[in-house]
C-alpha cells in the first residue's frame, strides 16, 4: 500500500526527483532519486530498519534528523548508514541491519 501523499491543499505533491529503483532485502522498491532512503521505505510500507544487538528488537524511524540512529541500515555494503539523512541513488542495495553487522 503506497504511503505517498498524492494530494494536499497547501503544497504541491509532484515529484521533482527522477523515478528510480532500489533493492531492499532482495526486493525491488520504487523510489525517487535524492529523497532520504527512509522516505522510500516508508512509502513502500517498510517500517523496520534494523534489529538490536542484545534482544533482536526491531527499530524504525524515531528522530528523523540523524540524531538517534534507529534508522541505521546496511547501504551498498556499508553498515550503520542513517537512512533518514542519506539520499537515494538508483540501484542502491539496502539491507535490514542485524545488530552491529560486519561490513560486507
Residues that bind other proteins (CB under 8 A): 3-5, 7-11, 13, 35-36, 38-39, 42-43, 47-49, 57-67, 70, 76, 84-87, 89
Q: At closest approach, how far in Å is the CB of 75 from other proteins?
A: 8
28 versus 78: smaller Cβ distance to other proteins = 78
Through-space distance between the first and last CA atoms of the chain, rounded to whole angstroms: 31
28 versus 58: smaller Cβ distance to other proteins = 58
Q: At closest approach, how far in Å is the CB of 87 from other proteins?
A: 6
| Residue the block writes with cell 540512529 | 69
Q: What is the DSSP string of 20-81?
A: EEEEETTEEEEEETTSBHHHHHHHTT----EE-TTT--EE--SSSSSSS-TTEEEETTEEEE
Three cell numbers at 77? 555494503
Q: At closest approach, how far in Å is the CB of 40 from other proteins?
A: 8
Q: At closest approach, how far in Å is the CB of 49 from other proteins?
A: 8
21 versus 60: smaller Cβ distance to other proteins = 60
Taking the C-alpha atoms of residue 98 and residue 3, their distance in angstroms, rounded to an integer, is 25
Amino acid at each position: 500500500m503506497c504511503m505517498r501523499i498524492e494530494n494536499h491543499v497547501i503544497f504541491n505533491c509532484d515529484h521533482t526527483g527522477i523515478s528510480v529503483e532500489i533493492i531492499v532485502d532482495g526486493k525491488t522498491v520504487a523510489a525517487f532519486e535524492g529523497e532520504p532512503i527512509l522516505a522510500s521505505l516508508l512509502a513502500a510500507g517498510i517500517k523496520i530498519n534494523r534489529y538490536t544487538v542484545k534482544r533482536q528488537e526491531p527499530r524504525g524511524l524515531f528522530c528523523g534528523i540523524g540524531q538517534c540512529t534507529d534508522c541505521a541500515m546496511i547501504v551498498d555494503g556499508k553498515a550503520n548508514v542513517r537512512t533518514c539523512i542519506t539520499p537515494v541513488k538508483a540501484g542502491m542495495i539496502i539491507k535490514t541491519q542485524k545488530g552491529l553487522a560486519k561490513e560486507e
